[in-house]
Structure 1
Amino acid sequence: MSFLRGFLFNLYLLVLTLLMGVVAFPIRLLNRRDAALAYAKLWSRAVLWGLERLCSIRIVITGQENLPDGPALIASQHQSFFDGFVWMNLVPLPAYVIKKELTSIPLVGPMLVLSGMIPVNRAGGSKALRGMMETVAKAQTAGRQIIIFPQGTRTQPGQTAPLQNGVVALARQATAPIIPVVTNSGLFWPRSPWRKYPGTLKVIIGPPLSPTMAGRALIPAITDAWTHLSQEHNLPLSPVENSVDVKSSPS
């Protein structure tokens, strides 16, 4: 069943993206950034609607009261492609920090740039980091909520991975609250593109970290916050891999 769910969802996602990508051409030609972001939000809602309906996945968001009305630096765990969609409609002006390769995807890539996402060349060294910091600073001045994945890559649910130093650099210049976020999205949308598992997918938004925290203390503070939130909400604390079909999934 997990393979069938995955196949149906992938077909839905492909058709949806092709159709909406073609319809987006006028927005790109007119270079309408506000319209591009609204369109990206619509696309994300449609993707998550299909995930819920076709894959029997219930999405539960906890802690939205911890999100500020204005700019924020959201430090989220990253387990699944789901994480790249959910924030589009949880905050008013989302701006993901994304790897530059995503901007080369036909139809999707140009809209990512136009809607204000922040591409980073991960092989660009200190020059790329400085460019990212400047772009993030401008985005925060514009009131946007910056979504970063401090681990730098997808991990299995419960897996620990070192946080990248780039998050410290961003935090040092940030004037906005830093919000820790945990999820169990990898249990339901794993690395395998052909499998989806039913159950309750959780996104837990924690209280803001102290704005006066020193840079060196930030990485352990994020890690500790993730551990506390995972324990409090019964999320995996040791690696879990969904590589085979299961009769029942965690909820």
Structure 2
Amino acid sequence: MTAIRSALFQVAFHVVTLLYMLALLPALPFISRQTLWRIGVLGWVRAVAVLLRVLVGIRAEVTGTEHIPEGPLLIAAKHQSAWETLALLPYFSDPAFILKRELMRIPIFGWFAAKARMIPVDRSAGSAALKAMTRAARAEIAGGRQILIFPEGTRRPPGAPPAYKFGVAHLYASLGVPCLPVALNSGLYWPRRALNFRPGTIKVEFLPALPPGLRREEFLARMEREIETASDRLLAEGRAALAEAPGTGREG
């Protein structure tokens, strides 16, 4: 049954995503980025949340929203699943994702990402990519936006050893804004590189923001420690819940 529900969600997710993009495509050259955000992105995210709840039985429990500062901000989130690439968005007023450049080349999707002024990174370009990312992030921060980055660069299995990159510390030092760490356990329910979803409650925790001005090494150590400590706790809670629920399958 879980496999059937997971397959139904995959089909529904891609159909809904395509319908949203096709509906807005004729207006894309004319609408503002803010209108695209309100009508397109937020509507799409809410529709996917309904699909997850109805078809797969996945809900979300979010705590720590009182820690989200107003104004320009760097958001550093744990990355275990595709879930957080969309579900975190509604909690911020005007976020810009840092994403790999290849995604911008996907027809239609890439056009929407460009309109939303997401920040592409060419991972093969080394230090040049870091400089380009920083320039683009500074421009968006100057406009009052929030920059959302996954410091490990790619999805990691739940419980895998952390692999934080120094690029987030460089970005933090360059932007001069607070950094909001985000812990989660989404990989238990929407596993990376897996087709089967597990019903349950994804837990997300916004942690107290780190102030600007810390030394890079101190910032990186504190950010990693706080995200990993909280994520390990959320993973333990999620694993206990899965163990008590019959028929959810083996964890990823």
Structure 1-normalised TM-score? 0.90
Output the amino acid matched with 2:218. A
Output the amino acid matched with 2:196. R
Q: Which residue of 1 aligns with 2:129?
A: 128
Instruction: Give the direction of change, closer, same or farther, for the CA distance of 1:192–1:228 in structure 2 (3 Å limit).
Output: closer
After superposition, the C-alpha distances for 1:189-229 in whole angstroms (9 at most, x for unaligned) are: 01234211001101111001132310111221111111332
Q: Which residue of 1 aligns with 2:93?
A: 92
Query: After the TM superposition, which parts of structure 1 deviate over 3 Å for at least 4 consecutive aligned residues?
Result: none
**Which whole-Å CA distance do the structure 1 matches of 2:96 and 2:83 have between them?**
16
Q: Which moved more, 1:41-50 or 1:60-69?
A: 41-50
Q: Aligned with 1:96: secondary structure? A: strand
Give the superposition deviation at 1:43. Answer: 1.2
After superposition, the C-alpha distances for 1:126-174 in whole angstroms (9 at most, x for unaligned) are: 1111111011011111111111000011001121232111101101112
Q: Which residue of 2 aligns with 1:185?
A: 186
Q: Aligned with 1:213: secondary structure? A: coil
Number of matched pairs: 243
Q: Which residue of 1 aligns with 2:138?
A: 137
Q: Which moved more, 1:221-230 or 1:121-130?
A: 221-230
Output the amino acid matched with 1:171. Y
Q: Which residue of 2 aligns with 1:6?
A: 6
Of Structure 1 and Structure 2, the greater helix share is in: 2
Output the amino acid matched with 2:64. G
Q: CA RMSD in A?
A: 2.0
**Which whole-Å CA distance do the structure 2 matches of 1:162 and 1:218 have between them?**
15
**Which whole-Å CA distance do the structure 2 matches of 1:97 and 1:172 have between them?**
16
Matches of residues 143-222 of structure 1 in structure 2 within 5 Å? Answer: 143-222=144-223
**Which whole-Å CA distance do the structure 2 matches of 1:116 and 1:107 have between them?**
14
**Which whole-Å CA distance do the structure 2 matches of 1:129 and 1:176 have between them?**
18
What 5-or-longer segments of structure 1 have no aligned partner?
none
Q: Which residue of 2 aligns with 1:114?
A: 115
CA contact (8 A) 1:51 1:57 kept: yes
Give the superposition deviation at 1:236. Answer: 4.1
1:103 aligns with 2:115: no
Identity %: 34
**Which whole-Å CA distance do the structure 2 matches of 1:168 and 1:112 have between them?**
25
Output the amino acid matched with 2:25. F
Give the superposition deviation at 1:180. Answer: 0.8
